[in-house]
């Protein structure tokens, strides 16, 4: 059988039944299923056990950073804004370690939504804790799904992708329509990262790290669009191929 690369996905903390069950580590199924052709490895949040986390990392061929709760502003040295939502510090610490190790070792990294934000923070950048309140020209980005509107595959706005970027090459397009389910975003771009995609208001929606192999982050949720949109399938296929040494 062809070799299948092992791709790590950090979990997130969930209090399943408050006061009745201990904390759980979970991850959405769509993220796992999007990695067709790979072996997904759900990574526990072990910021206080670096030796075990590093041992897990050594088995990985790549790191996939998914969506989730807000990145704690303490991770990038800022006080908490009143509109900053729930955070998961153990997840922050685990993902930032995985990102830094992977970038140093030139292992492939793909980040989506919160994932692009974690990537930017790990490399030294900062975030808008609430885009609507803090971005000077913000359009609506927080199309969070409800029972009667905004399904997760709702195409909210276009994104312009930079010509000549790796992201444009992978997507096969310099403009794509994307979904949008976030209220935070990149403020100060980390040194070493290149902005490769922008929303109509100028918010960074794509980054890559040219000197580190396949390191790409996007602000939208391609896992929700892959079934119907070929560019999103190509993004995951290219990531899996890169994790397999391609």
Catalytic residue positions? 113, 221, 223
Sequence-separated (6 or more) residues with CB below 8 Å from residue 91: 10, 11, 12, 13, 45, 68, 69
Look-up: residue for tokens 């709760």? 69
- Strand bridging mode 12-14 / 6-10: unpaired
Taking alpha carbons only, the member of 161, 168, 10, 9 closest to residue 93 is 10
- Report how far residue 150's alpha carbon sits from residue 219's, in angstroms, rounded to the nearest whole number: 17
- Report how far residue 237's alpha carbon sits from residue 37's, in angstroms, rounded to the nearest whole number: 8
Taking alpha carbons only, the member of 88, 110, 97 closest to residue 25 is 88
Around Cβ 242, how many Cβ atoms within 10 Å?
A: 22
């Amino acid at each position: 059988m062809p070799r299948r690369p092992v791709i790590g996905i950090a979990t997130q903390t969930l209090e399943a039944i408050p006061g009745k069950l201990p904390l759980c580590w979970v991850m959405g199924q769509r993220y796992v299923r999007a990695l067709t052709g790979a072996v997904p490895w759900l990574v526990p949040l072990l910021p206080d056990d670096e030796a075990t986390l590093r041992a897990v990392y050594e088995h990985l061929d790549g790191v996939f950073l998914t969506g989730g709760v807000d990145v704690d502003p303490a991770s990038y040295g800022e006080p908490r804004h009143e509109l900053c939502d729930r955070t998961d510090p153990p997840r922050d610490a685990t993902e930032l370690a995985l990102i830094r190790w992977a970038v140093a070792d030139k292992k492939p990294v793909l980040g989506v939504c919160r994932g692009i934000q974690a990537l930017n923070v790990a490399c030294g950048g900062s975030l808008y804790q609430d885009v609507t309140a803090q971005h000077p020209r913000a359009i609506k980005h927080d199309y969070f799904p409800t029972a009667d509107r905004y399904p997760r595959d709702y195409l909210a706005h276009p994104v312009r992708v930079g010509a000549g970027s790796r992201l444009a090459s992978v997507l096969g397009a310099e403009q794509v329509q994307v979904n949008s389910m976030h209220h935070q975003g990149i403020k100060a771009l980390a040194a070493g990262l290149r902005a490769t995609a922008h929303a109509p208001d100028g918010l960074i929606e794509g980054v890559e790290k040219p000197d580190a192999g396949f390191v790409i982050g996007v602000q939208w949720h391609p896992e929700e669009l892959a079934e119907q949109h070929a560019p999103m399938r190509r993004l995951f296929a290219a990531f899996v191929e890169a994790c397999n040494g391609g």
